[in-house]
Amino acid sequence: MASDIFLRPVVLTATKVAIVVGTILALINHAPALLALELSRQQILQIALTYLVPYCVSTYSSVKVLQNQIARTDHPQA
């Protein structure tokens, strides 16, 4: 269900994952520019995407788990 992406636990988990993973990846990929505080617009966009991707992946995973739990309770196996 599309509304599951806005559930508080889903958003909180995805935000935490995005902060940790995004920060690690941003440092790996852009450390010299970050430390020198010399970022181009392209690098800023890349860093934003570096945080967005793990957020989306975590959200997708959480929603799939919720959907699978609902499906199991709706159709329990004998």
pLDDT at 40: 96
The pTM assigned to this predicted structure is: 0.85
pLDDT at 73: 79
Total domains in the fold of the chain: 1
Question: pLDDT tens for residues 9-57?
Answer: 999 999 999 999 999 999 999 999 999 999 999 999 999 999 999 999 9
- Helix%, strand%, coil% for the chain, nearest 5: 85, 0, 15
Domain hosting 7: range is: 2-74
Computed on alpha carbons and rounded to an integer, the radius of gyration of the chain in Å comes to 17
CA distances from 16 to 20, 28, 44, 55, 58 (A): 6, 18, 20, 8, 9
